[in-house]
Amino acid sequence: MPIFAGKNMPFHDTAFEGVKIFEPRLYKDRRGYFYESYNERLFRQAGIETSFVQDNQAFSTYGVLRGLHYQKAPKAQAKLVRVILGEVLDLIVDLRPEQPTYGQWFSLRLSDKNHKQLFVPRGFAHGYLALSPQVIFAYKCDNYYDPDYEAGIRFDDPSLNIDWGVPKEQLIISEKDKALPFFEEIKESFL
């Protein structure tokens, strides 16, 4: 059931507390389309009280997998993610031990065709896989990037059993992401 914050801003809840899918209303005509990708007042009406301080953008090609990344407290980040060009499988892992979804993952296809966005509160690892030849991925953060607090989880963690939908041999992954620890190795740090 969508939540409408104002007449043109539908939000959908997920099974993960605080995680919301935003589907903006497009206004189309012969020239193209227009939509509001973010409106603080209307997001607040939908229960998203986050103030964003940093915008990031990344370019990737098919098969590039970035993640699963997060920042440790007190530098944790909430994110509002979207795709400007192409399509990705966007994926989050709940790192909040007090939640019934702790250690579970959620994925959603984001694209320049569906215009969906995902709001990810603090306490999640995040990653995405480029599914189109070219991807421009953009996201807002509510806390500044701090390399001293960056952390992550392996994309192929057997305990998480994530289905990325693409054969492993087709994935393009940084050496840094290949060296991330498994969830079992770090989960004690969240308790």
List 38, 62, 69, 149, catalytic entry = 69
139 counts as catalytic: yes
69 counts as catalytic: yes
List 115, 126, 128, 139, catalytic entry = 139
Secondary structure, 3-state, the chain: CCEECCCCCEEEECCCCCCEEECCCCEEECCEEECCCCCHHHHHHCCCCCCCCEEEEEEEECCEEEEEEEECCCCCCCEEEEEEECEEEEEEEECCCCCCCCCCEEEEEEECCCCCEEEECCCEEEEEEECCCEEEEEEEECCCCCHHHEEECCCCCCCCCCCCCCCHHHCECCHHHHCCCCHHHHHHHHC
As annotated, the active-site residues are 69, 139
